[in-house]
Amino acid sequence: MCGAIYRFKRFGRGEGIVKFFVGGLHGEECEQTRPILERLARECAASHLSFFGDAVILPCLVERGQHVSVLREEYYRMEAGRRLLSLVRFLHPRFYFEIHSYGMHSLSRLTSAKRFEIEGVPPFVELERGILIGSISPILRKEFRRDAFCLTVEIPKWRGVKERVLAILRACLAAESRDALLKALRRMYPEQMRKAEELFRMFYTEIEPF
């Protein structure tokens, strides 16, 4: 149903701290997520990249999957969702990055201030060129420790943003702590991160962004 999963182990500092990157959660999302995450895995393999922790990269969770939202319980009963849950339960990631892609027609829905009312979750914030970030599904968030760092990244289908997304994901791989990662993202996108963190805090009162 899906492609390869890559695991790069670190020995010494960062050993055992898992950073899990997963793409292509439903529909045709693998078309966008696979090339980006395959490239990230190649960079890890070639050690071009300095990374902290054990990197686990799954470029495509499901090929041409049914499009059921990850906000719905139903998703986690389907094959793709069950696989995702079992990987999260097995890996216990301290950092989790869920990479989706979306069509132009979904941009207003994903970033709408009304997303709280309509879908029960905060809107995404645009970092640049249609690249959006936000919290992960509250259903899945329960599987993680409170101090885990869990981020959704949405990639536009209509625009070439591969290099920019890779720059963000490389920062995620390099960071040695959740604070270091937040600082790196704030350096790259100060205003956008301020907004994203504020929205997160309005929704989750017991955990820190993200």
Contact positions vs Zn ion (CB under 5 A): 100
Q: How far apart are CB 61 and Zn ion at their closest, in Å?
A: 10
Closest to Zn ion by CB, 81 or 209: 81
- Evaluate whether 111 touches 127 at the Cβ level (below 8 Å): no
Query: Could you write out the DSSP letters of every residue in 140-172?
Result: HHTTS-TT-EEEEEEEETTS--HHHHHHHHHHH
Give the residue at shortest CB distance from Zn ion. 100
Closest to Zn ion by CB, 69 or 194: 69
What CA–CA distances, in Å, run from 57 to 6, 42, 181, 193, 207? 5, 10, 18, 24, 25
Closest to Zn ion by CB, 34 or 100: 100
Cβ neighbours of residue 46 under 8 Å, at least 6 residues apart? none
CA 137 to chain centroid, in Å, comes to: 11
- Evaluate whether 181 touches 172 at the Cβ level (below 8 Å): yes
Q: How far apart are CB 106 and Zn ion at their closest, in Å?
A: 9
Closest to Zn ion by CB, 102 or 149: 102
H or E element at residue 82 = helix 79-91
Q: How far apart are CB 73 and Zn ion at their closest, in Å?
A: 16
Closest to Zn ion by CB, 14 or 35: 35
Q: How far apart are CB 31 and Zn ion at their closest, in Å?
A: 12
Closest to Zn ion by CB, 71 or 188: 71
Question: What are the φ and ψ backbone dihedral angles of 7, each rounded to 5 degrees?
Answer: -135, 125
Q: How far apart are CB 27 and Zn ion at their closest, in Å?
A: 7
Q: How far apart are CB 49 and Zn ion at their closest, in Å?
A: 26
Strands of the chain, DSSP E = 6-8, 18-23, 54-58, 95-102, 125-128, 131-134, 149-156
